[in-house]
Amino acid sequence: MDHRPQAWGRPRDDVYGAYDGSYLNNSGPRTVTQSPVVTGTSVIAIKFKDGIVMAADNLASYGSLARFTDVKRLRTFLGTTVIGFGGDVSDMQFLDRHLEELAVDESYEAEPTIDEDDQEAKKASQLNAGNIYRYLQKLMYQRRNSFDPLWNHILVAGFDSASKPLLGSVDLRGTSFTSPSLATGFGAALAQPIMRKYAATEEDAAKLTREQAVGVIKECMKVLFYRDARSLDRYSIAIVTKDGIELKEDEQLEKQSWAFAERIKGYGTQTV
């Protein structure tokens, strides 16, 4: 009898030939996590004078199938920061749970022993949007270096340690930057030019009122729904200010006009 464990329960080598264990040698890179499965499309955000407005629709697509229509892609962190996720939904859930863990760790920290009434000092001792933004950037870059990226493009909105509005973007390669307006996915092509018309620079953004900013975002969501085939007319919108976060998760696109569609020719079963 052959006593080697790898031979147990195997057909006899002299009859069937040697065991081909080549499939066990997974020396190549892992590839299962290198393509997204259930995905969310654009996230868009714009700064205004008191804060930031962010929006994303409530759709999670399975390829081109509109699979889940009530998916909340704007997540809040510690009641001060909003994080919008484009890309793979399961990776978003992973990150959401990971951030939840960070928030729990944050609560372990005893209250600072400085004067409790000093709100500024208290704020400075808490994780803020700037910290989360840089943390996510490092996390995403580390994951891309291990060829196991989290397939997301993330927008972070909140306030930095100087209590200035912060809007940052991190993609699946760890590329990160901040800007007065940001969009992920298709939005980078369709919504970004519209938002730039209103807030090309930080100075322009600092002149926008909250109503104007919300108006711009709603307009962009409408354009995205017109042109992006993986989008939905139900969306979430979050407004981050110093007072906290207003998050509405079941908004409906209003005043749509599909008149322009008449003029589009050459698609589908259309023959004319």
User: Which position among 50, 96, 204, 246 is part of the footprint of other proteins (CB under 8 A)?
Assistant: 96
| Beta-bridge partners for 46 | 53, 181
Asked if residues 46 and 205 have their Cβ atoms less than 8 Å apart, the reply is: yes
Q: Which of 104, 259, 261, 264 binds other proteins (CB under 8 A)?
A: 104
26 is an interface residue for other proteins by CB under 8 A: no
Segment lying near other proteins (by CB under 8 A), choices 93-101, 128-136, 150-158, 203-211: 93-101
Strand, coil or helix: what is 74? Answer: strand
State how far the Cα of 59 lies from the Cα of 86, in Å rounded to an integer.
11
User: Nearest Cα to 230, choosing from 92, 40, 73?
Assistant: 40
What b/e sequence results for 66-76 when a residue is b if at least 16 CB atoms lie within 10 Å of its CB, and e otherwise? Answer: eeeeebbbbbb
Structure tokens at 158: 């909140």
Torsion angle (degrees, nearest 10) of CA 78, 79, 81, 87: 80
Taking CB under 8 A as the binding criterion, the range among 17-25, 86-94, 122-130, 199-207 that sits at the site for other proteins is 86-94
- Work out how close the CB of 143 gets to other proteins at its nearest, in angstroms, rounded to a whole number: 17
Judged by CB under 8 A, the residue of 70, 138, 175, 227 near other proteins is 70
Q: How far is the CB of 92 from other proteins (least distance, A)?
A: 7
33, 39, 76, 184: which one is catalytic? 33
From CA 208, how far away is CA 214, in angstroms rounded? Answer: 10
**Using rule CB under 8 A, residue 118 touches other proteins:** no
Which one, 75 or 143, has the nearer CB to other proteins? 75
Query: Which residue of 6, 93, 145, 161 would you call a contact of other proteins, by CB under 8 A?
Result: 93
Asked whether position 71 contacts other proteins by CB under 8 A, the answer is yes
Which CB sits closer to other proteins, 85 or 198? 85
Find, among 84, 249, 251, the residue nearest to 167 by Cα.
Answer: 84
Residues 191 and 41: beta-carbon distance below 8 Å? no
Using rule CB under 8 A, residue 103 touches other proteins: yes
Closest to other proteins by CB, 95 vs 217, is 95
Q: Is 31 a catalytic residue?
A: no
Comparison of 103 and 188: residue with beta carbon closer to other proteins: 103
Residue 2 interacts with other proteins (CB under 8 A): yes or no: no
Question: Considering the rule CB under 8 A, would residue 136 count as an interface residue with other proteins?
Answer: no
Estimate to the nearest angstrom the gap between the alpha carbon of 156 and the chain centroid: 8
- Distance, C-alpha 158 to centroid of its chain: 14
